[in-house]
Amino acid sequence: MHGDQLVIEAHHRRAAEAIFELIIEDLRSDESKKVVTIAGESGSGKSETAEALADCLRQNKIDAVVFQQDDYYVHPPRTNDRTRREDIAWVGPNEVRLDLLDQHAEAFRRGDHVISKPLVDYAADSIGGEEMAVGQAQIAIAEGTYTTLLENADWRVFINRTAAETRAHREKRQRHVSELDEFTERVLAIEHEEISGHKKRADIIIESDYSVHRAENNA
pLDDT value at residue 174? 54
In a domain, 158, yes or no: yes
Instruction: Identify the CA nearest to 157 among candidates 144, 173, 169.
Output: 144
- Residue 68: which CATH number? 3.40.50.300
Distance CA 175, CA 166 (A): 14
pLDDT value at residue 3? 54
Distance CA 79, CA 63 (A): 35
In a domain, 54, yes or no: yes
| Residue environment code for 24-44, b if the CB has 16+ CB neighbours within 10 A, otherwise e | eeebeeeeebbbbbbbbbbbb
Helices (H), 76-205: 77-86, 98-110, 167-173, 182-195
Half-sphere exposure of 112 (CA within 13 A, CB side): 15
In a domain, 3, yes or no: no
DSSP β-bridge partners for residue 130: 117
pLDDT value at residue 216? 85
Q: How far is CA 206 from CA 15, 45, 113, 199, 213, in A?
A: 7, 10, 31, 11, 7
pLDDT value at residue 178? 47
pLDDT value at residue 88? 96
In a domain, 219, yes or no: no
In a domain, 4, yes or no: no
Instruction: Identify the CA nearest to 76 among candidates 142, 141, 2, 169.
Output: 2
Distance CA 207, CA 13 (A): 14
Helices (H), 32-116: 46-59, 77-86, 98-110
In a domain, 147, yes or no: yes
pTM reported for the whole predicted model: 0.90
pLDDT value at residue 43? 87
What is the span of the domain harbouring residue 196? Answer: 10-214
Instruction: Identify the CA nearest to 1 among candidates 64, 76, 74.
Output: 76
> How many domains does one find in the chain?
1
In a domain, 53, yes or no: yes
pLDDT value at residue 177? 43
Strand ranges (DSSP E) for the chain?
A: 34-40, 64-68, 114-121, 126-133, 139-143, 155-159, 204-206, 212-214
Report residues of the chain scoring pLDDT below 50. 176-178
